[in-house]
Amino acid sequence: MNLSDPVMAALIGAGATFATAIFQLTANARRQAAEREAGKPASRKSGSWLAIFALVLASLVTGYVLSEYQSYSGRQDEKLLREELIARVRDISAAAARLERAGMERNGSSEAHAPLIAERRDGAEGVAAIISVPACRAAKAGSVQSPGACSENDAVLTTLCAAVPASAKVTEVQVFTRLDDAQQPWDEARVQAGKDAGAARFVDAWFERAQGTASKEICQQFAHWNSQKGRSARILVKYAL
């Protein structure tokens, strides 16, 4: 059985006191026996028994009180530890809640900016538009119905436009053209506006025109007078927001 230190000390003290009392009682009994043999009346000291009993009882009570005090002190320490632990758990929960709110706000902010980020990415990559133009057909001299070779004056004129956000600032407009049966990639079919591209030309500079309140169009005119084959024209508009 495990005993606390105060109880053990009380038991040792009580044992020592009891041993001392037994020794004193033994000595007193021998003295009384000697007095009886000498014909003297034996003295009775009942107070010694009471004193011994009181000492033993006091030792036991003291040990018990010390043990209870230590137990109470341990319970108090445990209570303080439990309260501190609860406080720490509460602090951790509050911190977790703050982090969760911050994460939700950050996600909400990211979601709110997602369309703008996408538009800026589109602007950096460029918005394209493509149109196909058939071969030019011009009437021969003296025959209204017979088609003949076209000149630039007979060119088919069309307008090619790409839609961008209304607040966009155009940074570059690239133009491309190739024959309908050409296999070259668009990157190799880039031309300069205003220059002859083989019976075809992008006329003058680009211009813009309104298209509602949210967007606008960036346009370029294209002329084609090839009477043998049709052409495809492409415009690529890059912008910033």
Residue 189 in contact with residue 178, Cβ under 8 Å?
yes
For residue range 178-205, list pLDDT tens digits in order: 998 888 899 999 999 989 988 999 988 8
Q: Dihedral of the CA atoms 160, 165, 167, 168 (nearest 10)?
A: -60
* The pTM of the whole model exceeds 0.85: no
Neighbours of 216 (CB within 10 A): 20
Q: Give the lowest-confidence range in 45-54, 70-79, 117-126.
A: 45-54
The contacts found for 116-124 with CB under 8 angstroms, 24 or more apart, are 116/241, 119/165, 119/241, 120/240, 120/241, 123/164, 123/165, 123/168, 123/171, 123/238, 123/239, 123/240, 123/241, 124/238, 124/240
- Can you give the pLDDT at residue 130? 93
Using CA atoms, how far apart are residues 200 and 29, in angstroms rounded to an integer?
144
Whether the predicted pLDDT of 30 surpasses 90: no
Phi, psi (rounded to 5 degrees) for 106 = -65, -40
What is the residue type of 220? Q
Residue 160 in contact with residue 231, Cβ under 8 Å?
no
